[in-house]
Structure 1
Amino acid sequence: MSFSNHPLWLVGFRPFFTLACLSGLSLPVLWALIFSGILAPPATPFSPAQWHAHEMFFGFGWAVLGGFLLTATRNWVKIRGYHGQALMLLVSAWLLERAGMWCAGILPPLVFRLFSNLFLAMIVLMLLWTLIRHHQDDSFPDNTFFLIVLPLFLVAKNLLLSEDHFQVGAAMTLGLFRVVFLVMLERTVTQFMKNAVQADILRSAPLDRAIKLLALLLVFVGLLPTQIAPWLALLLALLLSGRFVFWKPQLAMRRLDIGIMYLGYLAIVAQLLLQFIEQLVTPGWLGSLSMHVFTFGAMGLIIPAMLIRIANGHTGRKVIFDRLDKAVLWIMIAGFVIRIILPQFDPAGYLRWIGLAAACWFTCFAVLSWRYVPYLLQPRVDGKPDA
């Protein structure tokens, strides 16, 4: 068997969820060591905070998002997804970007730009080509939102690394991930509730469309008039809250594997409310709190559960969350409390809370790596092809 035919390269979630686990356990710990002064920051022309934000969104976040979309798009349009050498090329570009981000200060600017944009440009073009070429077979009409947001990630990425536009880039990046999470939650929660508890949740096409359009508009929050932006965030938070009531949370919260998706949903609402308050009072007043409510609450809670589901289901195993899987989710809930809530009561212990929160991420993704990376490296247990 040639290396390109190894099970790792048969479908997109396999290599990229492996990278997501490894970056999820290492990047927060690296940041905690840098933030505390134990480790010297990378040699870059931009600030350590920019490096941290970029790596969590475009390193860890896009490893997850890339693996998810490369796998999901083949199901949406009923074709075989990218595999073999195409995936090997994407993974090489992702690794090259990580090296480039750490050594940006010693690379010629042109080489750095190539290293830092190659992976995202390649995967965005590949995903767009799949969705556009096979749009007539697409089972989800609202995939139009992906046609819009995917190219915008390239804009946000470069703004994030700009000294003068970091805040605009960070807000835009968060907004783009918010759109993706809202589209994903609509589809997955509807299916999970129907399959797990035989419950139908509210799906109103006008309401769902209004939510996604508002979320798309808020991608440009850094460019919107200050008199309008906070009220749009409040409106989206209210629409999401209203829909949440009719998504039967009283049933979902009885099961941790589904309830954690609802907690992630509420974290998106909380982030929007904090964004509203901050923009209405004094921009920058809350520091990075709003950003971390999203990264720890939406990304940190939803992603581990998603990795567990896909790593089991797409390798031919039953999607059952056992005690260790549930323990991983509780660890991430504890990480959210430690990073977001406890510093509000003990700001003097801020460094300690950052270290403990990073330890939660390390423990969570170390366990996921130990349990599920072997699944990703092996053929499906049911004998069915990945193609």
Structure 2
Amino acid sequence: MATAPRPYAGPVLLAEGFRPFFLAAAVWAAVALGLWVALLSGAIVGPRALDPLAWHIHEMLFGFVMAGVAGFILTAIPNWTGRPPLRGTPLAALVVLWLAARLLALTSLVATLPLALVAVVDAGLPLALAAYAARQVMAARNWRNLVMTGPLLVLAIADGLMVAEGAGVTVPQGLGWRLGLAAIIILISAIGGRIIPAFTRNWLMKRGATALPPASPGPVDRLALASLHTGLLAWAFLANGHGPGTALTGGLLLLASAANLARLARWRGWTTLAEPLLSILHLGYLWVVVGAALLGGTLLTSTVPMATAIHALTAGSIGTMMLAVMSRATLGHTGRPLTADRATVSVYLLVNGAALSRIVASLMGGAHLSLLALSALLWVTAFALFAARYLPYWRRPRLERIA
């Protein structure tokens, strides 16, 4: 006869995966961008193995975003499988692994330690998450969610490629970060397609609405995902090339943008404006639509700078969706009401202001430096405010609601 798991009696911060990893994501998003500005200004000297731009890209994708992904995956797995969450010492070990990778990337140790050791440490978190997720999902026979291990493995490979390139190994230039970005947007599109229409449908039903998002995916969803995923992966491998393959990829990304816009419209986001905690998810997905269109445009014409498309996907989609998911998951899993207070709304406005400023900066000439500074300030303020506002939730036990 199976015995019930022992009640958890350790630190609250290690009771669930979202607590330490959402804190790490928020703090590092602000700190890493502040360090990036300091590197650009020459106020500090960066690591020998990574130039300032490479370090910035690496720490945004594999530092900030990876922490947020870890928090989400570790919190979602118990919901998918009905099994106990990872907590206590094993969870702390994953946090330490993430911190070790940040230390390696920030110091000159990357250039002095064996490449294999650096790659294992740096890609250790996505590999550990993929292994843990696969084990839990297979134990529960929840085969539908086994597919979620795919993007985690791609992230690990992408991280290793970027480390190898920084160490001087001959790999296709930029393949690591492009593959990492593609994997993250693929995760957003897959997970967004599950949670956004479901949360919207539940919210509207409670208010007596009859026009609802579809309860299950349809042909539009399949076309949107197939075209987006294929287009992003093709871009990751063909971005430095020219010819028919590049033009075909650009056209495929434009198709993906149109299909995902139709997909987003089916979720009826305009009906959720009364609750920013919900409408921000729709806005975050809209950035995927914009980013895919701009990325397609960069491959078809020289009038769209690559930086514009990249920052629509990163500062826009990833920044917005990370804050949207982290705020909602924190409130829901700590027993708080699922509504955005003024501080949370301010965070949403700040991160979207940062994205817009950065995109406009990439389109402008002489005035772009002031816009870059504004974008950095808005980004740092957004994540610092989020960390300050949500830290009490992460540090305190879940509220038990009284019926």
Q: What residue number does 1:172 align with?
A: 179
Q: CA deviation at 1:293?
A: 0.7
Match of 1:205 among 183, 197, 218: 218
Go from structure 1 to structure 2 and tell me whether the alpha carbon gap of 1:44 and 1:286 turns closer, same or farther (over 3 Å shift): same
Asked if residue 11 in structure 1 is aligned to residue 31 in structure 2, the reply is no
Worse-superposed segment, 245-254 or 120-129:
245-254
Q: What residue number does 2:72 align with?
A: 68
Asked if residue 233 in structure 1 is aligned to residue 253 in structure 2, the reply is yes
Q: CA deviation at 1:294?
A: 0.8
Q: Deviation per CA, 1:321-352, whole angstroms, max 9, x where unpaired?
A: 1112111111112212221125534x323332
- Structure-2 separation of matches of 1:204 and 1:91: 35
> Which amino acid in structure 2 is aligned with residue 332 of structure 1?
V
Q: What secondary structure does 2:334 align onto?
A: coil
- Structure-2 separation of matches of 1:165 and 1:113: 17
Q: What residue number does 2:52 align with?
A: 48
Q: CA deviation at 1:383?
A: 7.7
Match of 1:34 among 36, 39, 44: 39
Q: What residue number does 1:191 align with?
A: 198
Q: What residue number does 1:149 align with?
A: 151
- Structure-1 separation of matches of 2:90 and 2:48: 30
Asked if residue 373 in structure 1 is aligned to residue 386 in structure 2, the reply is no
Match of 1:25 among 26, 30, 39: 30
Contact 1:268–1:294 (Cα < 8 Å) also in 2? yes
Q: CA deviation at 1:165?
A: 2.6
> Which amino acid in structure 1 is aligned with residue 308 of structure 2?
L
Map 1:49-198; keep pairs closer than 5 Å.
Answer: 49-103=53-107, 104-134=110-140, 136-137=141-142, 141=144, 143-161=145-163, 162=165, 164-198=171-205
Asked if residue 223 in structure 1 is aligned to residue 205 in structure 2, the reply is no
Contact 2:320–2:351 (Cα < 8 Å) also in 1? yes
Q: CA deviation at 1:4?
A: 7.7
Q: CA deviation at 1:219?
A: 4.2
Asked if residue 263 in structure 1 is aligned to residue 267 in structure 2, the reply is no
> Which amino acid in structure 2 is aligned with residue 228 of structure 1?
L
Worse-superposed segment, 78-87 or 205-214:
205-214
Q: CA deviation at 1:95?
A: 0.4
Q: What residue number does 1:313 align with?
A: 332
Q: What secondary structure does 2:366 align onto?
A: helix
Contact 1:4–1:88 (Cα < 8 Å) also in 2? no
Worse-superposed segment, 260-269 or 209-218:
209-218
- Structure-2 separation of matches of 1:295 and 1:133: 35
Contact 1:50–1:166 (Cα < 8 Å) also in 2? no
Q: CA deviation at 1:71?
A: 0.5
TM-score, length basis structure 1: 0.89
Match of 2:372 among 354, 365, 377: 354
- Structure-1 separation of matches of 2:153 and 2:59: 18
Q: What residue number does 1:363 align with?
A: 381
Go from structure 1 to structure 2 and tell me whether the alpha carbon gap of 1:132 and 1:349 turns closer, same or farther (over 3 Å shift): farther
Aligned alpha-carbon RMSD (Å): 2.4
Q: CA deviation at 1:13?
A: 0.6
Q: CA deviation at 1:186?
A: 1.4
- Structure-1 separation of matches of 2:326 and 2:94: 20
Contact 2:33–2:376 (Cα < 8 Å) also in 1? yes
Worse-superposed segment, 220-229 or 309-318:
220-229
Go from structure 1 to structure 2 and tell me whether the alpha carbon gap of 1:73 and 1:355 turns closer, same or farther (over 3 Å shift): same
- Over the matched positions of the two proteins, sequence identity in percent amounts to 25
Q: What secondary structure does 1:209 align onto?
A: helix
**Number of aligned residue pairs:** 376
Structure 1: segments with no counterpart, 5+ residues: none
TM-score, length basis structure 2: 0.86
Q: Which structure has more RCO (C-alpha within 8 Å, separation ≥ 6)?
A: 1
> Which amino acid in structure 1 is aligned with residue 358 of structure 2?
R
Q: What secondary structure does 1:5 align onto?
A: coil
